[in-house]
A = this chain, B = another copy of it.
Amino acid sequence: MRTLYHNWFCPFSRKIRVTLHEKGLDFSMRVENVWERRPEFLALNPACSVPLLQEPDGHRIADNYAITEYLEETYQDQPLMGSTPEERAEVRRLVDWFDSKFHREVGHYLISEKILKRLLRHGSPNSDAIRAASHNIRIHLDYIGYLADRRDWLGGKFFSYADIAAVSHLSVMDYLGAVPWHANESAKNWYMRMKSRPSVRPLLKDVIPGLRPPAHYADLDF
């Protein structure tokens, strides 16, 4: 059986969960609390990070970037990247936008301050960091709305890893009640379409230990 080592609030793990669903690949999941630095897990991935994917034949692929590219190369029935080098460059640009820029400017702050500090009982939330994230997320929502107004999907005419990256990062923020959806109607409509996809619905049932989501988190119409 294919196994995904993940954590509930890890946006990068969410990307792989959605991707595996979109590609019709069966998998089981195993929670890995990477901060415990289990020796058995360190032996699987010296970076001690999730996601880590173990394929049915036992071989392992470590980390977001390697896993998404590996799945795209290996399971081509449901392509998620486009068909020309230019299309793929645009999808990858947007994946990087969410994985690097959104995560650095928004996700990293809120996950550290609102989830990790609580889970690890280590310090109290830094209100400056939360304020910065709350400011920055509006700019990202506007960019999503800008793209959604001009394209069928974020990366172009086709559903792609760009949509998967965006929904994976945003859904963790939405779980924290941190997305001001009223601020951008087009971004909200795109997210509504995403929520109704069978690949995304399982995320809406997630429960982060010790932290309940707001009521609208699982609503398809919010």
Q: Does A89 touch B at the CB level, under 8 Å?
A: yes
A70–B81 Cα gap in the complex (Å)? Answer: 12
Chain B CB count within 10 A is highest, among A61, A86, A89, for: A89
Q: Identify which of B59, B63, B86, B90 contacts A93 (C-beta below 8 A).
A: B63
Q: Would you call B143 and A96 a contact (CB within 8 A)?
A: no
The chain B residue sitting closest to A94, CB to CB, is B66
Chain B residue nearest in CB terms to A73: B85
Q: Given that A61-B89, A74-B85 are known contacts, is A101 also in contact with B47, CB under 8 Å in the complex?
A: yes
User: Is A64 positioned at the interface, with any CB of B under 8 Å from its CB?
Assistant: yes
In the complex, are the beta carbons of A96 and B61 less than 8 A apart?
Answer: no
* Chain B residue with Cβ nearest A59: B86
Contacts of A64 in B (CB 8 A): 96
A123 at the interface (CB under 8 A from B): no
Contacting residue for A46 out of B49, B63, B143, CB 8 A: B143
A48 CB to nearest chain B CB (Å): 10
Residues 61-73 of chain A: 1 if any B CB is under 8 Å from the residue's CB, otherwise 0? 1111111011001
- The smallest beta-carbon distance between A15 and chain B, in angstroms, is 13
Out of B59, B62, B63, B89, name the residue touching A66 (CB < 8 Å). Answer: B89
* Residue of A73, A86, A88, A92 ringed by the most chain B CB atoms within 10 A: A92
A158 at the interface (CB under 8 A from B): no
A67 → chain B closest CB, angstroms: 8
Other than the given A46-B143, A62-B89, 9 more pairs (CB < 8 A) read: A49-B101, A61-B89, A63-B92, A63-B93, A65-B93, A66-B88, A66-B93, A69-B88, A69-B92
List of 4 A-B pairs having minimum Cβ-Cβ separation, nearest first? A66-B92, A61-B89, A65-B96, A66-B93
24 CB-based A-B contacts, threshold 8 Å = A46-B143, A47-B101, A49-B101, A61-B93, A62-B89, A63-B92, A63-B96, A64-B96, A65-B65, A65-B92, A65-B93, A66-B88, A66-B89, A66-B92, A66-B96, A67-B89, A69-B69, A69-B88, A69-B89, A69-B92, A70-B85, A70-B88, A70-B89, A70-B92
